[in-house]
Amino acid sequence: MSTVLHTHTGPAAGGVDSDGTGARPARKRRTVSEADLRGRWWRFALILAITAVVLIPILVVLVLAFSPSSTSSSTGITFENFTNVFEETLASTWLKNSLVVTLSTVLVSVAVAAPAGYVLSRGRSRAVAGYSLLLFVMQSLPIITSVVPLFILFATMGLVDNLLGLTIVYVASTMTVATWMMAAYFDSIPASLEEASWIDGCSVFGSFRKIVLRNSLPGVLSTAIFAFLLAWNDYLVAIVFLRSNEIFTLPMGVQSFFQQNQTDWGGVMALAVVMMLPPIIVFAALNKYFSVGGIGGSLAGR
């Protein structure tokens, strides 16, 4: 009697498995060693320490701003410092001056830097190259080196102790960086989009307005935020050009609380909180507009 031997062979490496789809490569599970865990904890501790260094001063400002003064009978969280600041000082005037100067700086900077950055991005000539080099040289010079010559020039023009003169200085100091920022973002927009609009009968300015600017909202907002922060937080230029108390901006107003023998820390911290609110509001309101999907959608339709 013959014996039939039945043998079963499983899927070998590189062979065919039971469903005929081919053998799947074996997956190796990576084990995390104790050294890796210790390394991760050290990195987490370092990040936590850096975050604490950044946040602790802000927490101190908030605590002192909402704490009662030494001469007050109230306890717990109070808005007494804010009330005293706006009722007994020119804080509302300083806030209005800062908003006027900052918003004017933002509007003028973006309006001028956008077409200038477009020329810098699309232009290919010696004049444009020289213009680019000039911007680079001007960007490397801090604005504080030009304050004294500008003060002498503006004094003859009646622009000292004047919000218009301060706005002109801020616009000049932001223009070089703003132009470079706009040019860098325009470089990411394909020129084929503009060429297609030219074929459709659109002018150069029309394609810039309808195609380039429409797809450059994140770049425009980044430039606007840069100009906003520079004008809003500046103190060195303001202290040179401003003299009258009613012309002060908020950084100058905060400095006026520091006296020779005493300092109203509650008022200083309350005004510091007022200074922090507009940048926080701006970032919170504009954060959703920072996306990268606009250019991809434009390309998909072509």
Q: For 20-60, write each residue's pLDDT tens digit.
A: 555 555 454 455 556 565 667 778 888 888 988 888 888 98
> Which residues touch 102 (CB under 8 Å, ≥6 apart)?
228, 231, 232, 278
Determine which helix (DSSP H) or strand (DSSP E) holds 147, and give its type and residue range: helix 147-157
Side chain identity at residue 19, one-letter code: D
* Residues 135 and 257 sit within 8 Å (Cβ to Cβ): no
In sequence order, the β-bridge partners of residue 263 are: 258
- What's the mean per-residue pLDDT of the chain? 79
Confidence band of 1 (pLDDT split at 50, 70, 90): very low
CA distance linking residue 250 with residue 170, whole number of Å: 15
Q: For 245-301, write each residue's pLDDT tens digit.
A: 899 999 998 888 876 556 778 888 889 999 999 988 988 888 777 644 444 433 443
Look at residue 71 in the predicted model and tell me its pLDDT.
64
In the block, residue with structure tokens 């084990």? 31
The pLDDT > 90 percentage for the chain reads 22
**Dihedral sign for Cα atoms in the order 88, 92, 95, 97:** negative
Q: What is the pTM of this model?
A: 0.75
* Residues 98 and 160 sit within 8 Å (Cβ to Cβ): no
Neighbours of 288 (CB within 10 A): 7
Look at residue 169 in the predicted model and tell me its pLDDT.
92
Q: For 192-215, write each residue's pLDDT tens digit.
A: 887 888 887 778 788 888 888 888
